[in-house]
Amino acid sequence: MVRALVTGGAGFIGSHIAAELLERGHAVTVLDSMEPYYDLRIKERNIDRCREIGGGRFQFVEGSITEGALVDDLFSSRDVEVVYHQAAQAGVRTSIENPKKPHDINTTGLLTLLRAADDYGVRRFVNASSSSVYGEVEYLPYDEEHQTVPQSPYGVTKLTAEHYCRVWNDIYDVPTVSLRYFTVYGPRMRPNMAITNFTSRCLDGKPPIVYGDGQQTRDFTYVDDIVEANLALLDAPAADGETINVGSTRTITIEELAEHVIAETGADADPVYTEPKDGDARHTHADVTKARELLDYEPSTEIRDGVSQFVDWYRENRKWYEPLVVES
């Protein structure tokens, strides 16, 4: 049994990682600040689900990764072996409006965790990074050697965090890995994302709203694939010190995505186009060669299949989930 700390574990990706660790018999402590970035009832359901799965092997602690004394107490009292660091102030657009907040959480908070990981001798520290670090496209698909020119404060904080993790691996001998996620989606996803909004509007008889011309492309990654990549790092020493893309390897335009959601929901609607949002990348596309080599990673869910699964989940959970969706 592994004793894991999942930061941000009440959120979308973190709760899926925590739940799967518990399903596999491990002990999990979740640290989450319960920041009301979106409706907290979703996070509360995530916590309840983990508690149902794990029983006495699960503990939830409300607090921030920036609280040094709290972090020290968790590492020492829980005898933490593995850290899955998912906590962050998310959102490209949010970071443009308030760049200091993501810096404080995504950079300073990370340093608090890395220091504790060094002090208490964790055997693996997995850092959630983002395709936002790439920014300007030089070529596609992005491999890990592609230039990194982030176009938002959020992307800058994620790139800075990667460098800190590399330094802690090289200088302080803390085994770190950074996983660059590509647009993660799936059940219980953050409710202000494109797939959620498209589905909500279509089921309510409204047209999906597309920002820009709809020809932007995204490498959407189903959350189950993200979880598998993370859990592969319970035992993957060759990955120490690496930064690794985790994507689906396939892309879809936002216009095609909207049309697919329309077809899956049976909506009688056409997409409505509006002004593009600042800071959004034009294209993303992951080269996952390194993930295949180091993690035996193979994405299992193609975007159209994943959207179909999400729409089915949405219908089943519509009564509680839909009122919490915030259009963005």
DSSP 286: B
Tokens of 273: 């186009």
Within 8 A by CB and 6+ apart from 223, the residues are 12, 13, 16, 184, 185, 186, 187, 189
SS3 at position 182: coil
DSSP 38: S
Tokens of 223: 């959350």
Query: Taking the CB of residue 46, how many other CB atoms lie within 10 A of it?
Result: 23
Contact 117, 174 (CB under 8 A): yes
- Which string of DSSP letters, residue by residue, matches 42-90? HHHHHHHHHHHHHGGGEEEEE--TT-HHHHHHHHHHTT--EEEE-----
Q: Which residues are catalytic?
A: 154
Cα-based distances in Å from 32 to 64, 66, 85, 225: 6, 11, 11, 23
Q: For residue 173, with 0-12 CB atoms within 10 Å meaning exposed, 13-18 middle and 19 or more buried, which class applies?
A: exposed
Contact 112, 69 (CB under 8 A): no
